[in-house]
Amino acid sequence: MSTYETITLEQKDGVATLTLNRPDKLNALNELLLIEVRGAVLTLAQEHKVRVLILTGAGKAFAAGADIGAMSEMPPATAKAFADAGHAVGDALESGPFPSIAAVNGFALGGGCELALACDFIHASEKAKFGQPEVKLGVIPGFGGTQRLARRVGLGRARELCYTGDTIGAEEALRIGLVNAVHAPDDLLPRVRDVAARIASKGPLAVAQCKRVTGRGADLPLERASELEAQAFALLFGTSDQREGMKAFLEKREPSFKGQ
């Protein structure tokens, strides 16, 4: 079992919960935290035990952004390496075989919003606040915000958020499609765990292909994306999960998926 300085990781019934854990700094993303999140995600992906990952934050923030103290004196080359480290976390989340859900409990600003956007979808507490305030610091989002925010909420809304640096609350985030659902603060994790459990009970290879095809297909012309879907559909007919899922339906019982 790995020990971490800036995160905690729990696993139960196929669901892992990764908690960003620098509450005194509102879980600001420094280099170590980025390395630990990426390392944890890659390790979980290799172990093949986890079917869903939940990302959340300790204390009153999900994450209040990249660590401004660490960034303030960075020369351009170091800033590029820091942005690359942030993108590597997003890549690890997106390329992993299991879906990740951001349970945004409070501030998700700058890199915090970008980390949530790298998850498959977001549920928020009524107390959550979202924004890309980098222009207030004389920079731009560097961990994927200019790209993933536009893909999630549309170019016009993403540009307005990035140009103004405005912070929006959970209801506005729901209205523009940045988050899928808003819950009372105490209900956030239980409700996200319910969704995670519903996903974890399904065929894991099928869920992984849904993730891969919806993600890759979004950036492809429809014809190529449809071909990607058809190939993945066919691939699953070579698995024992497909046989078990359809047999269980015909036998009127619950399926027992093995991920094979």
Binding residues (CB under 6 A) for ligand COA: these are: 25-26, 28, 64-69, 107, 109-110, 133-134, 137
Catalytic residue among 36, 114, 126, 229: 114
Which residues have CB under 8 Å from 214's CB, separation 6+?
none
Is 172 among the residues known to form the active site? no
Query: Which helix or strand (DSSP H or E) is residue 135 part of?
Result: none
Nearer to ligand COA, 61 or 153 (CB): 61
Distance in Å, CB of 108 to ligand COA, minimum: 10
Nearer to ligand COA, 134 or 241 (CB): 134
Cβ burial, residue 155 (10 Å; 0-12/13-18/19+): exposed
Nearer to ligand COA, 36 or 120 (CB): 36
Residue 259 backbone class (left: φ over 0; alpha: ψ -120 to 50; beta: rest): left
The CA-atom distances, in angstroms, between 249 and each of 20, 46, 216 are 40, 31, 30
The CA-atom distances, in angstroms, between 192 and each of 117, 188, 202 are 16, 6, 16
Is 10 among the residues known to form the active site? no
Catalytic residue among 31, 94, 134, 160: 134
Distance in Å, CB of 167 to ligand COA, minimum: 8
**What is the rounded CA–CA span in Å between residue 202 and residue 258?**
10
Distance in Å, CB of 151 to ligand COA, minimum: 20
Nearer to ligand COA, 64 or 207 (CB): 64
Distance in Å, CB of 101 to ligand COA, minimum: 22
Which residues have CB under 8 Å from 54's CB, separation 6+?
15, 16, 17, 18, 100, 101, 102, 103, 189, 192, 193, 196
Show which residues are catalytic. 114, 134
